[in-house]
Amino acid sequence: MKTTYRECVRQALREALLRDPRVFLMGEDVGRYGGCYACSKGLHDELGPERVRDTPLSESAFVGAGIGAALGGMRPIVEIMTCNFSLLALDQILNNAATLRHMSGGQFEVPVVIRMATGAGRQLAAQHSHSLEGWYAHIPGLRVVAPGTLADARGMLPTALADPDPVLIFENALLYNLEGELPEGAGAVDIDHACVRRPGSDVSLVTYGGSLPKTLAAAEVLAAEGISAEVLDLRVLRPLDGAAILATVDKTKRLVVVDEGWRSVSLAAEVVARVAEEGFFSLDAPPVRVCSEEVPIPYPKHLEDAALPQVPKIVRAVRQVLHG
């Protein structure tokens, strides 16, 4: 079935709302407007304002309300328009959602799902082009996922709603228009494991989310040069699937990590550190990271493109790993 990433998200939301009366969607413009990215288009008219709730422009307030509803037995889906706005709710996410199970000695669960758009590439300048997944992956008590395919966009939400702990879903905004085939009957997917999206033997390309299509495109370019690149989609950023990372490095002996976050103290750094600690003797060359440049994301298109991981950058990094 031909569809889009956006439609997969919308269908996942609709089916979750229809399946379980405890589920409701809340956020800025998710109701009558249909969502900033049209992911909830039509759901307000179909299901009503009790199930699809427009909120005031206060991330701290409505994320806190979602946490409270989860504590009360509901299954809220909280949408934050873009991940930079999530910083206005960081106190609620870090000091409440992530900690209440621990601080209550296991007496309380916080089954809230928080969705947000992430990533750059749309000329929205420095304040709306963040990739902060790595920040949240640093926090114990959260599960952090990044669907990079249609199947994951469709299937991660129902699994997240069944989790007794808070789950953050980062949807790269450039993927919403991604088109492809979704198998009939596609449903829930696991949110525990990474996935090899392309097998290979010469080098491992480890990535996630919005960088996955670029990394797969780079693998195609490399294949034309006779280089076999394995592409591992992390999918789940906390907890990381360390076994999958070590397995692909053990297979190819070389590692390139592609991460739209900034290079310093990045998720890519964590992947490389784990390989250095647990798989050092599998490596035939030093790992390389392809990340965003260490600058606020520029507005001009040519500078924005230059600041982000791109296919030519990934290809050059692979050549460096292979040939020095």
Annotated active-site residue 59? The verdict is: yes
CATH number of 195-323: 3.40.50.920
Residues 37 and 83: beta-carbon distance below 8 Å:
no
Residues 5 and 153 sit within 8 Å (Cβ to Cβ): yes
> For domain 2-181, which CATH number applies: 3.40.50.150, 3.30.420.270, 3.40.50.300, 3.40.50.970?
3.40.50.970
46 is catalytic: no
Scanning the structure block, which residue is given the tokens 């050059």?
A: 316
pTM for this entry: 0.97
Structure tokens at 297: 């994301």
pLDDT by residue for the chain (324 residues), tens only, comes to 899 999 999 999 999 999 999 999 999 999 999 999 999 999 999 999 999 999 999 999 999 999 999 999 999 999 999 999 999 999 999 999 999 999 999 999 999 999 999 999 999 999 999 999 999 999 999 999 999 999 999 999 999 999 999 999 999 999 999 999 998 888 999 999 999 999 999 999 999 999 999 999 999 999 999 999 999 999 999 999 999 999 999 999 999 999 999 999 999 999 999 999 999 999 999 999 999 999 999 999 999 999 999 999 999 999 999 997
- Catalytic residue (one of 7, 28, 44, 59): 59
Residues of the chain with CATH 3.40.50.970: 2-181
Instruction: Write out the residue limits of the CATH 3.40.50.920 domain(s) in the chain.
Output: 195-323
Amino acid sitting at position 106: G
Catalytic site residue from 128, 138, 278, 293: 128
